[in-house]
């Protein structure tokens, strides 16, 4: 049994054997009442601390899950943006290559004429 419970039982047994109106009895009764309040407050404090720890654990788990989710979203967005940019660059390269081929075709005749002119005039 708890020491306080045993003390309270002994106190009540002593009271039965002695005068309940004595100042000593009344002081002891107040001590027991205060002791009970202290024990109740201690129990409540322990419950409050346990609840706070439980909530803190939940908050940590929740924040870890939220952080993981946000990291995945950010990573996916970065990958999507990089993919779009790569596609844009590929499309630009193809268009630029077509432009260069068109310029080459247009200037090929000029180049042939220039070379023929150099060979024939030399």
Indicate the helix (H) or strand (E) that contains 18. none
Q: Which two tokens mark 60? A: 């940590």
Question: Residue ranges of the domains in the chain?
Answer: 3-121
Please say whether the beta carbons of 4 and 39 come within 8 A: yes
Per-residue tens of pLDDT for the chain, all 122 residues: 567 666 776 766 665 556 667 777 778 778 888 888 888 999 999 999 999 999 999 999 999 999 999 999 999 999 999 999 999 898 889 888 888 888 888 888 888 888 888 888 86
Greatest Cα pair distance in the chain: 145
| DSSP-derived secondary structure for 57-115 | HHHHHHHHHHHHHHHHHHHHHHHHHHHHHHHHHHHHHHHHHHHHHHHHHHHHHHHHHHH
């Amino acid at each position: 049994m708890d020491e306080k419970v045993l003390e309270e039982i002994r106190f009540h047994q002593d009271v039965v054997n002695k005068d309940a109106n004595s100042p000593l009895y009344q002081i002891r009764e107040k001590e027991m009442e205060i002791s009970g309040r202290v024990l109740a407050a201690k129990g409540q404090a322990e419950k409050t601390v346990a609840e706070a720890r439980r909530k803190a654990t939940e908050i940590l788990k929740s924040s870890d899950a939220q952080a993981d989710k946000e990291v995945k979203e950010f990573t996916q967005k970065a990958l999507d943006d990089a993919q779009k940019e790569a596609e844009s660059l590929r499309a630009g390269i193809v268009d630029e290559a077509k432009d260069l081929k068109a310029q080459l075709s247009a200037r090929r005749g000029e180049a042939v004429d220039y070379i023929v002119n150099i060979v024939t005039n030399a």
